[in-house]
Amino acid sequence: MGIVAERVVLLDTGPIVALLHKGDARHSECVTEAKRLKKRQLLTTWPVLTEAAWLLRARPQAVCQLLASVAGGMFQLSLLDASVASWIADFFRRYDDREPQLSP
């Protein structure tokens, strides 16, 4: 089973945190966009979820909601294996001037 790019939205930490934290400056914007994208597959990774949980750590209910969203299928998890290492290295070379990093 492959992924059709036009139907997939890759989510990073910021939008996920904004969706779950009503006090976030982008909360309403992200909620509106999530409703608009309802028929698309929302794809993220465990490292993103880990970072989101860390940022939401002062809000245990939001962390539980994050995990429930994964368990309920709101977010599809992309599993990364060793084959992505060369792609990541190319990305780092390409965007070297922006100082990319693997961790927050």
DSSP string covering 39-88: TSEEEE-HHHHHHHHHHTTT-HHHHHHHHHHHHTTSEEEPPP-TTHHHHH
Q: How many domains does the chain have?
A: 1
pLDDT band at 6 (very low <50, low <70, confident <90, very high): low
Q: Report if residue 70 sits inside a domain.
A: yes
- List the CATH number of the domain containing 55: 3.40.50.1010
Q: Report if residue 34 sits inside a domain.
A: yes
Is the pTM higher than 0.75? The answer reads: no
Average pLDDT over residues 4-29: 88
Q: What count of Cα atoms within 13 Å lies in the side-chain half-sphere of residue 61?
A: 4
Distance of CA 62 to the CA centre of its chain: 15
Instruction: Look at 10-19, 21-30, 35-44 and tell me which has the smallest mean pLDDT.
Output: 35-44
Range of the domain at 13: 5-97
Average pLDDT over residues 9-20: 92
Provide the 3-class DSSP secondary structure of residue 24: coil
